[in-house]
């Protein structure tokens, strides 16, 4: 059964905008032109509809290449943090294939299970998702990270039960897809479907870019199989370069059943397990409320892709502040206080402590824009 046919239309277009992340995060495929077959030119809505209505797929196996320039040139990636902080964190990052880029393998099952293996001299990184929980095992540090998104309000228990299953398997009409593209176009520029080939498979590529300025985020590409509807390439771009900052691309793509054992993760018994939890909207407090100082205040400055998030939390005795965690980064002065600043092609992160309060600012904007907001706090 076509895996994307199980997705509601809104989630498909979210994929087209690469706000998906396979998980991630995220993300994206270094894509080699193979000289393979290309599909005929079609309007975007028709191309999406025909791909979703294609033959059933029992699974996918492919080679993948991840290219990641996000932290290129930053001390955090090159090991500067390890040299100055003595903790070795920079060295771990510099060898992690998610940071440096790597080649590996990808498997997808017909029921939506995903496994990506990225190879590294210090140990592979494995990412597995069963549609509910995302697990990442880093062999270099023998650490297992797990993240389970909170259940959506009003979500039914089983996606395969009753009439909801039939609705999920129904291919949306061309007119419905056109309506969804029209809604997306109110917030972003959506390109036509460009015929190409990825990994020897005929594919269409669509670019989604913000329709407002002021951000370092230049847009995303998604290339999907023209016959089977599966995404084969994803790339994230900055406004400062025509080359992708992050890219993940498939090659030597083959379709067929994938054994369930492929999606089993069996780390060593002495593995360190870290559960990842993101603050919910209920936990974030409005600016100016104390809440006993236990929960951070989260505010935003600006709007859209140029918005800057500001997190304020009470500094705790004996606990490392974000500034200390990022002490290997370049320093800037904010109203007489030293701050650590991470600069990337897609955005900036700034951290400092003042009067017993930790400040963390992040946004897809230039360092100058972040620093201006910080000086106004």
pLDDT digit string (tens) for 291-326? 444 678 999 999 889 999 999 988 876 666 555 555
Whether residue 240 is found in the same domain as residue 329? no
| pLDDT average, residue stretch 332-339 | 94
Q: 269-297: buried (b, 16+ CB within 10 Å) or exposed (e) per residue? A: eebeeeeeeeeeeeeebeeeeeeeeebbb
Residue where a domain terminates, one of 273, 305, 328 = 273
Per the CB < 8 A criterion, the answer to whether 300 and 365 are in contact is: no
Q: Give the per-residue pLDDT at 306.
A: 93
> Is the pLDDT at 121 greater than 60, yes or no?
yes
Whether residue 174 is found in the same domain as residue 314? no
> Is the pLDDT at 235 greater than 70, yes or no?
yes
Whether residue 246 is found in the same domain as residue 303? no
Residue where a domain terminates, one of 233, 250, 273 = 273
> Is the pLDDT at 287 greater than 60, yes or no?
no
Per the CB < 8 A criterion, the answer to whether 10 and 2 are in contact is: no
Instruction: For residue 62, give both structure tokens.
Output: 């492919």
Q: Give the per-residue pLDDT at 325.
A: 56
**pLDDT band with cut points at 50, 70 and 90 for residue 330:** confident
The DSSP secondary structure of 29-85, one letter per residue, reads: B---------PPP--HHHHHHHHHTS----EEEEEEEEEE-TTTT-HHHHTHHHHHH
Domain of residue 233: give its range.
3-273
% of the chain exceeding 90 in pLDDT? 56
Whether residue 263 is found in the same domain as residue 290? no
Whether residue 220 is found in the same domain as residue 297? no
Whether residue 319 is found in the same domain as residue 225? no
pLDDT digit string (tens) for 215-227? 999 999 999 999 9
Residue where a domain terminates, one of 249, 273, 297 = 273
Q: Give the per-residue pLDDT at 104.
A: 94
Whether residue 132 is found in the same domain as residue 250? yes
> Is the pLDDT at 26 greater than 50, yes or no?
no
What domain count does the chain have?
A: 2
Better-predicted residue by pLDDT, 333 or 289: 333
Could you tell me the CATH number of the domain that includes residue 353? 3.30.200
**pLDDT band with cut points at 50, 70 and 90 for residue 10:** very low
Could you tell me the CATH number of the domain that includes residue 10? 2.50.20.10
| pLDDT average, residue stretch 128-136 | 92
> Is the pLDDT at 32 greater than 80, yes or no?
no
Whether residue 35 is found in the same domain as residue 60? yes
Q: Give the per-residue pLDDT at 215.
A: 94
Better-predicted residue by pLDDT, 88 or 258: 258
Whether residue 234 is found in the same domain as residue 365? no
Whether residue 265 is found in the same domain as residue 317? no
Q: Give the per-residue pLDDT at 33.
A: 37
Whether residue 29 is found in the same domain as residue 144? yes
Cβ burial of 174 (10 Å; 0-12, 13-18, 19+) is: middle
What is the rounded CA–CA span in Å between residue 126 and residue 141?
12
> Is the pLDDT at 359 greater than 60, yes or no?
yes
Q: Give the per-residue pLDDT at 51.
A: 95
Whether residue 157 is found in the same domain as residue 31? yes
Q: Give the per-residue pLDDT at 35.
A: 57
What is the rounded CA–CA span in Å between residue 295 and residue 309?
16
| pLDDT average, residue stretch 252-271 | 93
| pLDDT average, residue stretch 153-166 | 46
Instruction: For residue 229, give both structure tokens.
Output: 């509807």
pLDDT digit string (tens) for 53-105? 999 889 999 999 999 999 876 655 444 433 333 344 445 555 678 888 899 99
Q: What does the mean pLDDT of the chain come to? A: 79
Q: What is the 3-state secondary structure (H, E, C) of 135-165?
A: EEEECCCCEEEEECCCCCCCCCCCCCCHHHH
Specify the range with the lowest mean pLDDT, choosing from 56-60, 122-126, 160-164. 160-164
Instruction: For residue 94, give both structure tokens.
Output: 């510099």
């Amino acid at each position: 059964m076509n895996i994307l046919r199980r997705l509601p239309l809104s989630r498909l277009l979210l994929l087209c905008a690469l706000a998906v992340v396979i998980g991630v995060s995220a993300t994206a495929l270094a894509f080699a032109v193979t000289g393979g077959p290309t599909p005929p030119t079609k309007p975007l809505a028709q191309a999406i509809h025909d791909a979703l209505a294609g033959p059933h797929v029992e699974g996918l196996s492919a080679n993948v290449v991840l290219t990641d320039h996000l932290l290129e040139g930053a001390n955090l990636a090159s090991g500067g943090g390890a040299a100055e902080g003595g903790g070795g964190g920079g060295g771990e990052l510099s060898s992690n294939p998610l940071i440096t880029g790597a080649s590996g393998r990808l498997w997808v099952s017909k029921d939506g299970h995903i496994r990506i293996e990225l190879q590294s001299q210090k140990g592979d990184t494995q990412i597995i998702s069963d549609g509910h929980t995302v697990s990442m095992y880093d062999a270099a540090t023998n650490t297992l990270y797990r993240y389970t998104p909170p259940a959506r309000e009003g979500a039914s228990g089983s996606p395969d039960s009753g009439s909801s299953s039939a609705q999920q398997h129904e291919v949306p009409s061309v007119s419905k897809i056109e309506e969804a593209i029209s809604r997306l176009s109110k917030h972003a520029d959506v390109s036509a479907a460009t015929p190409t080939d990825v990994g020897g498979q005929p594919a269409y590529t669509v670019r989604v870019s913000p329709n407002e300025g002021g951000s370092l985020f230049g847009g995303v590409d998604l290339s999907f199989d023209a016959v089977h509807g599966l995404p084969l390439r994803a790339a994230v771009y900055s406004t400062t370069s025509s080359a992708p900052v992050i890219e993940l691309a498939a090659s030597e793509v083959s379709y067929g059943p994938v054994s369930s054992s492929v999606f089993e993760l069996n780390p060593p018994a002495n593995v360190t397990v870290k559960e990842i939890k993101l603050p919910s909207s209920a936990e974030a407090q409005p600016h100016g409320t104390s809440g006993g100082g236990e929960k951070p205040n989260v505010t935003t400055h600006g709007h859209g892709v140029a918005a800057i998030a500001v997190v304020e939390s009470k500094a705790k005795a004996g606990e490392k502040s974000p500034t200390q965690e990022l002490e290997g980064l370049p320093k800037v002065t904010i109203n007489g206080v030293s701050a650590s600043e991470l600069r990337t092609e897609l955005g900036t992160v700034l951290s400092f402590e003042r009067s017993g309060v930790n400040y963390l600012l992040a946004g897809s904007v230039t360092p100058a824009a972040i620093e201006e907001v910080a000086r106004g706090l």
